[in-house]
Structure 1
């Protein structure tokens, strides 16, 4: 599986533009990645300042330019605010596989924004990237994330473990 994310694949939905992350997003990314509600079920190091948010953006940009992952900002078409992120990474050639990760600002939750983003990202992953399997790990108590995955027809895989994250469970969608 050789991917080329140049030019960056901008995706559109009715209410969102899914675009590349850039340094102008540092303040919004800092706010999203330090939000207690967003991080309730995510085990990750939160940035302590804007400099660390910029370093995260730099890491994501390098990952994308090396074609090792693709990470979209969910930008509201109505107010041009960054409302969340979604991305595909951890590609595995043998299985034509990618892992899906996502997060959304609490003020935009339960309004269908992430479902819109899922629709275009899954279409891109299966049709443009020719993936056969997309997997998402979520915390076993994150009922909103589980409901979203099930709505998108992902199937719970109880035997799959997320190494190093004992509270995460796996959901997979096959092409």
Structure 2
């Protein structure tokens, strides 16, 4: 369908480019995924090295080949990795929905890069993947993420109590969704 022969499509915007993750992204992504302003919001165990990040990238690429997940590295204007985003999972028949995840280097925050990356990703999900509903789960204290997704038109649907278990215990998350045709531009 949209991942032809295991090839993850490249998406290009005005200032950012989304491309398949590569082993060479491990050092940059490790720095982002472990950064104290990013790590608390991830629904993943902490990584201890760039080697572990490289193994995670390999796993994500394998999951993409099996159409279980789809993750891109986000490249900024200079072509350097500044984050990642993608579909954690999706279901077509019977639901036509998917769940997204995203993170950005603190050095790149507040410059509109993630909004541009998200617009590319949402267009791909609604257009090429044929999704009708895109979901985002957000920790109630992650104000930056909530502002971004609501600016893109996502609506809060409710609080999922103790939805995730992390090293710090159970966490609540807020469920947001965006339906085909609701996305805001600009």
TM-score, normalised to structure 2's length?
A: 0.87
SS of residue in 2 equivalent to 1:157: strand
Deviations 1:119-157 (A, max 9, x none): 111011001111011000111011111110110000001
Alignment of 1:10-159 (within 5 A): 10-77=10-77, 79-93=78-92, 94-158=94-158
> Does the Cα contact within 8 Å between 1:89 and 1:100 map onto a contact in 2?
yes
| Matched residue, 1:171 | 176
**Alignment deviations for residues 31-74 of structure 1 (CA, whole Å, 9 cap, x no partner):** 11111111133342111112211110111110111111111111
Question: SS at the partner of 2:163?
Answer: coil
Structure 2 Cα separation of the partners of residues 156 and 143 of structure 1? 13
The 1:58–1:39 alpha-carbon spacing in structure 2 relative to 1, beyond 3 Å, is same
Q: Which runs of 5+ in 1 are unaligned?
A: none
Conserved? CA contact 1:21–1:57, under 8 Å: yes
RMSD over aligned Cα, in angstroms?
A: 1.7
The answer to whether the 8 Å contact 1:162/1:169 transfers is no
Aligned pair count reads 173
- Structure 2's unaligned 5+ residue stretches are 166-170, 181-186
The reply to whether residue 4 of structure 1 matches residue 9 of structure 2 is no
CA contact (8 A) 2:38 2:106 kept: yes
Contact 2:63 2:69 (C-alpha < 8 Å) held by counterparts: yes
- Tell me if structure 2 keeps the 8 A contact 1:89–1:99: yes
